[in-house]
């Protein structure tokens, strides 16, 4: 039997009986020429220490690498259970040399094939169908591996995360082969230390490219919103990419390289990734402080994202050695929840401390009204999360109770929609109601800034109408309830009727019949001329003033109709009865200035927001209707 034939035979025996491949201890080789086999294995090992020591086995060829692994397997098989017979010392010395070589090869393979991950392209891939899919419960049969030999944990990680190849698959297989031999020689720690040294460094570089940074609470508090918001968006991206891609991929790689002992993989991954994960979570924690109302949406984004990532964090950072990361993630989620709640509750205070010294020009919608209702409209997209954050109020008997005082109780008891009643039970309701009522008080206070009572009424009508319409279409109607909407819709109508009474009440006095007829029921032309003159002057003043006022879309036409429905019939009747007494008189056009059509056109020119409306477009009605 030749030397060349001995090595494969003994290696085959070693692979079959090695502890790494079977649960039983390796037995001594059968009756073979052990000395010849040992000579050959030693020759293979020492070949790379004498003359070729600076070369790396795995760089030369895969055949050389396999020969080297077979030589190590043979030596371990020859050593058997540790006595090795008279050649034990020699075998152990050769294995010591092999151990040093494998350690160097492991470090070298890692170093030359490891590259920093540029995460800039990763978020665009999140929408890919293969990116994240929930595991199919029907696929779970309680087994620890699938038919391909992949562990359940690895399969779940691939399904829930976006696993990328951090190293070429062939190199991963080589590293795993080396790690298995090192484990058999009780030198796993050498591989773990080398792995941590290389992978931790590249992970830190990837985190740097991702924008993970160390900030203090003081740094964040000093930032203006235009600086803070981009930083929070960058933090959000870092959360997604780091936990969904980088850490998940690192965990998958670690499990593949150290597949021989997953406890070692846990230790290796923890020492390599825990600090980086805690740094990401610490960055989130720093941003998770209650602040200006506009910060709420970024806090909610962070909360929703971290909550979505928790299963993946649990999967990647499993085991006792990673428990700190899991606990910190849960703690940060609670902190985000509290910060979001406190920020939303603070919206009421922000309204109450927002003081105006000048009225809004032309009675338009106040900027704060517009801002807040758009704010709530945008918030409706997060309504399920908001209800979750504010919890579900329980009554004394443990059943869901209705929150929000008399108004919500009225809605829940008046046959409201089932979804609405469910929404009204949330403790979010009274908070939202307080915000809306604070806005209504703010509107009332700003209305008092107007010297013109009529314009003050226009302002109240505009703002209340805007609030009601936004609430109807903002997705919050099921939270505030129909009762609130009906009450404030009635308030809009009240302001409209009040406007008509205050603004137009006096002009109707000029269209009354009382006082026009003198003794003997003769019509006094002087009084009649005075009536038309006063009517014209009053109408022109109203038009001059109110043409430049602003009334909200949708409400503008309704208000014009409201004016026309009362003024046009009254004017048509008055004109029809009395114009005949002035027609033909000298300067009659001074009194009979406007036809019914003129008035209709001029009323339709009200509230256009211009500096003043045109009064020139009229036709003479002297001598015709």
Is residue 405 included in any domain, yes or no? no
Is residue 348 included in any domain, yes or no? no
pLDDT of residue 418: 45
Residues, the chain: 625
For the chain, what percentages of helix, strand and coil (3-state, to nearest 5) are there? Answer: 70, 0, 30
Is pLDDT above 50 for 159?
yes
pLDDT of residue 192: 93
**pLDDT band at residue 422 under the 50/70/90 scheme:** very low
Who wins on pLDDT, 119 or 187? 187
CA distances 341 to 52, 130, 376, 520, Å, are 67, 35, 14, 79
DSSP state of 520: G
Mean pLDDT of 279-308: 94
Is pLDDT above 50 for 280?
yes
pLDDT of residue 350: 92
Q: Per mean pLDDT, which of 55-64, 90-99, 452-461 is the most reliable?
A: 452-461
Distance CA 334, CA 340 (A): 10
Mean pLDDT of 300-329: 95
Name the residue range of residue 543's domain. 434-605
pTM of the model: 0.77
pLDDT of residue 520: 62
**Lowest mean pLDDT segment, chosen from 173-187, 308-322, 382-396, 506-520:** 382-396
pLDDT of residue 82: 55
**pLDDT band at residue 518 under the 50/70/90 scheme:** low
pLDDT of residue 560: 94
The number of domains in the chain is: 1
Mean pLDDT of 283-310: 94
For the chain, give the percent of residues with pLDDT over 90. Answer: 54
Q: Per mean pLDDT, which of 1-5, 156-160, 507-511 is the most reliable?
A: 507-511
User: pLDDT for 564-591, tens place per residue?
Assistant: 999 999 999 999 998 888 887 777 888 8
Is residue 323 included in any domain, yes or no? no
Q: Give φ, ψ of 523 to 5 degrees.
A: -75, 130
Is residue 544 included in any domain, yes or no? yes
Mean pLDDT of 269-284: 95
**pLDDT band at residue 156 under the 50/70/90 scheme:** low
**Lowest mean pLDDT segment, chosen from 146-160, 161-175, 195-209, 418-432:** 146-160
pLDDT of residue 89: 87
Question: CATH code at 582?
Answer: 1.20.1280.170
pLDDT of residue 522: 81
pLDDT of residue 148: 46
Who wins on pLDDT, 197 or 618? 197
Is pLDDT above 50 for 274?
yes
Mean pLDDT of 413-424: 44
Is pLDDT above 80 for 625?
no
Could you tell me the two tokens for 326?
Answer: 């899991």
Is pLDDT above 90 for 264?
no
Distance CA 271, CA 196 (A): 7
Is residue 296 included in any domain, yes or no? no
Is residue 615 included in any domain, yes or no? no
Is residue 279 included in any domain, yes or no? no
pLDDT of residue 327: 97
Is pLDDT above 50 for 97?
yes
Mean pLDDT of 517-541: 87
pLDDT of residue 175: 95
**pLDDT band at residue 500 under the 50/70/90 scheme:** very high
pLDDT of residue 152: 56
State the SS3 of 38-82: HHHHHHHHHHCCCCCCCCCHHHHCHHHHHHHHHHHHHHHHHHCCC
Q: Exposed (0-12), middle (13-18) or buried (19+): which is 21, by Cβ within 10 Å? A: middle
Q: How many CB atoms lie within 10 A of CB 198?
A: 18
Q: Give φ, ψ of 549 to 5 degrees.
A: -75, 160
Is pLDDT above 80 for 59?
yes
User: pLDDT for 11-48, tens place per residue?
Assistant: 444 433 443 333 333 444 454 467 888 888 888 988 88
> What is the Cα Rg of the chain in Å?
42
């Amino acid at each position: 039997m030749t030397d060349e034939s001995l090595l494969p035979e003994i290696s085959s025996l070693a692979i079959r009986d090695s502890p790494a491949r079977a649960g039983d201890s390796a037995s001594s080789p059968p009756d073979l020429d052990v000395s010849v086999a040992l000579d050959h294995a030693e020759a293979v090992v020492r070949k790379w220490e004498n003359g070729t020591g600076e070369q790396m086995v795995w760089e030369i060829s895969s055949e050389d690498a396999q020969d080297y692994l077979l030589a190590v397997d043979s030596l371990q098989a020859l050593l058997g259970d540790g006595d090795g017979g008279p050649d034990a010392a020699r075998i152990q010395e050769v294995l010591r040399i092999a151990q040093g070589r494998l350690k160097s090869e492991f470090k070298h393979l890692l170093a030359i094939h490891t590259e920093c991950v540029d995460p800039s392209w990763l978020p665009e891939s999140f929408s890919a169908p293969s990116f994240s899919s929930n595991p199919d419960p029907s696929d779970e049969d309680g087994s620890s591996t699938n038919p391909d030999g992949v562990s359940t944990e690895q399969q779940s990680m691939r399904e829930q995360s976006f696993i990328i190849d951090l190293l070429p698959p062939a190199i991963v297989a080589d590293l795993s082969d080396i790690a298995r031999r090192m484990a058999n020689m009780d030198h796993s720690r050498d591989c773990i230390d080398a792995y941590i040294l290389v992978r931790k460094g590249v992970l830190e570089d990837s985190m740097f490219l991702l924008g993970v940074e160390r900030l203090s609470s003081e740094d964040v508090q000093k930032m203006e919103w235009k600086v803070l918001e981009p930083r929070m968006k960058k933090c959000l991206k870092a959360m997604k990419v780091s936990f969904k891609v980088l850490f998940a991929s690192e965990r998958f790689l670690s499990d593949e390289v150290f597949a021989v002992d997953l406890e070692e993989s846990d230790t290796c991954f923890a020492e390599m990734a825990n600090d980086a994960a805690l740094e990401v979570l610490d960055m989130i924690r720093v941003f998770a402080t209650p602040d200006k109302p506009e910060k709420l949406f970024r806090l909610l984004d962070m909360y929703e994202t971290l909550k979505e990532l928790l299963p993946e964090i649990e999967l990647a950072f499993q085991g006792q050695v990673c428990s700190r990361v899991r606990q910190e993630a849960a703690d940060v989620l609670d902190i985000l929840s509290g910060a979001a709640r406190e920020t939303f509750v603070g919206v009421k205070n922000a309204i109450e401390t927002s003081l105006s010294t000048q009225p809004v020009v032309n009675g338009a919608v106040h900027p704060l009204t517009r801002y807040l209702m758009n704010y709530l409209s945008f918030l409706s997209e997060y309504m399920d999360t908001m209800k979750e954050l504010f919890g579900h109020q329980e009554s004394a008997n443990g059943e869901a109770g209705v929150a929000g005082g008399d108004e919500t109780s009225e809605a829940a008891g008046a046959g409201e929609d089932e979804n609405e009643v469910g929404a009204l039970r949330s403790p979010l309701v009274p908070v939202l109601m307080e915000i809306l009522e604070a806005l209504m008080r703010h509107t009332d206070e700003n209305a008092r800034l107007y010297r013109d009572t009529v314009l003050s009424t226009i302002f109240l009508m505009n703002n209340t109408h805007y609030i009601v319409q936004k609430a109807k279409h903002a997705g919050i109607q099921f939270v505030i309830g129909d009762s609130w909407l009906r009450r404030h819709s009635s308030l809009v109508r009240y302001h409209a009727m009040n406007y008509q009474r205050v603004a137009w009440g006096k002009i109707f006095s000029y269209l009354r019949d009382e006082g026009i007829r003198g003794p003997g029921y003769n019509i006094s032309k002087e009084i009649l001329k005075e009536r038309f003159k006063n009517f014209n002057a009053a109408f022109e003043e109203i038009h001059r003033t109110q043409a430049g006022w602003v009334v909200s879309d949708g409400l503008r036409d309704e208000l014009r109709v409201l004016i026309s429905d009362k003024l046009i019939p009254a004017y048509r009747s008055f004109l029809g009865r009395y114009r005949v007494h002035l027609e033909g008189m000298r300067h009659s056009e001074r009194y009979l200035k406007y036809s019914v059509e003129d008035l209709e056109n001029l009323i339709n020119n009200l509230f256009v927001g211009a500096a003043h409306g045109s009064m020139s477009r009229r036709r003479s009605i002297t001598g015709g209707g």
